[in-house]
Amino acid sequence: MTALYVLGSGSRGNCCAVESEGATVLIDAGFSPKEIERRAEATGLALGGVGAIVLTHEHGDHARGAGRLARRLGVPVLTAPGTWTRLGLRLRHAEHRALGLCARVEIGPFRVTACPTSHDAAEPLALAVECADGTRVGVAYDLGRPTTAVRYLLRELTAIVLEANHDDVLLRTSSYPPVVQRRIAGSTGHLSNRAAAQLLAEVHHPGLGVVVLAHLSRQCNTAEDARATVGPALHRAGFAGALHVAEQDEPLGPIAVVAAAGAQLRLAL
Ligand SMILES: [Zn+2]
Ligand SMILES: [Zn+2]
């Protein structure tokens, strides 16, 4: 069985894990190694099985602990070449494996594929992890807008971790200065609840069993608002799986990565 963990998500740190057949791949390490270990232990995730750390981009809330954790675990770091260059000295002790549109990487029972995203970083990526049991987990956050490449990557997944960063109205009425509001809402910033709902409705298919809304803004969103916007859109699209909302301070998981019950039934007929 494949399990998904979101050890935390938000502007103060992001870290997810996919576990399958005793092996684990970490996606982002935006907390200190000690904090990642504490959160992993709280969910029962054994970091001894980690075979690689995959980074979406170099921002601190995604890469803060990557170098030290890779060294401690003795595992390679998978990033786009531009991300690796930007992180420079901080990853000097780690082995690099290049990831990108033309570079898929196999790590144990996982095959990791990626595509570029629209975000104000060196070479940011959205990721899909295919497991030996055929399930596929996608992680896409820090998206200014959903590009065609991201839509393509997110098709036919079993589980999606997707950014639902802000509510449009809460952002407009927030205490953020206009320049910050424009950066967040801009095409290289972050995805709103409404945009996340539209994207999920587009990429929905009967096999989608798990959706985790992630990277919620503390100032401009709430779990209730994100659910209230995304839930009905998913429902209208025919989603029969489980909808979760990741938190900044509390780890989530293990979540069983399985197709929605209706899809399993249809496949069996
Ligand atoms: Zn971020
Ligand atoms: Zn970022």
Ligand 1 centroid from CA 64, angstroms: 11
Amino acid, single-letter form, for residue 169: V
Ligand nearest to the CA of 10: 1
Ligand nearest to the CA of 121: 2
Ligand nearest to the CA of 120: 2
pTM of the model: 0.95
Q: How many CB atoms lie within 10 A of CB 195?
A: 22
Neighbours of ion ligand 1 (CB under 5 A): 61, 142
Angle (nearest 5°) at CA 211 between 205 and 264: 45
**Candidate from 91-95, 180-184, 252-256 with smallest mean pLDDT:** 91-95
| DSSP for 176-233, written as a single string | S-HHHHHHHHSTTS--BHHHHHHHHHHH--TT--EEEEE---TTT--HHHHHHHHHHH
pLDDT for position 263: 62
In the chain, pLDDT over 90 holds for what percent of residues? 89
51: nearest Cα among 14, 23, 80: 23
Query: Please, what is the average pLDDT of the chain?
Result: 94
Q: Are 143 and 117 in contact (CB under 8 A)?
A: yes
The answer on pLDDT for 261 being more than 80 is no
In the chain, pLDDT over 70 holds for what percent of residues? 97
The answer on pLDDT for 269 being more than 70 is no
The answer on pLDDT for 111 being more than 90 is yes
The answer on pLDDT for 265 being more than 90 is no
pLDDT band at 39 (very low <50, low <70, confident <90, very high): very high
pLDDT band at 158 (very low <50, low <70, confident <90, very high): very high
195: nearest Cα among 118, 115, 101, 80: 118
Ligand 2 centroid from CA 17, angstroms: 18
Ligand nearest to the CA of 165: 1
Ligand 1 centroid from CA 11, angstroms: 5
Ligand nearest to the CA of 57: 2
Ligand 1 centroid from CA 90, angstroms: 18
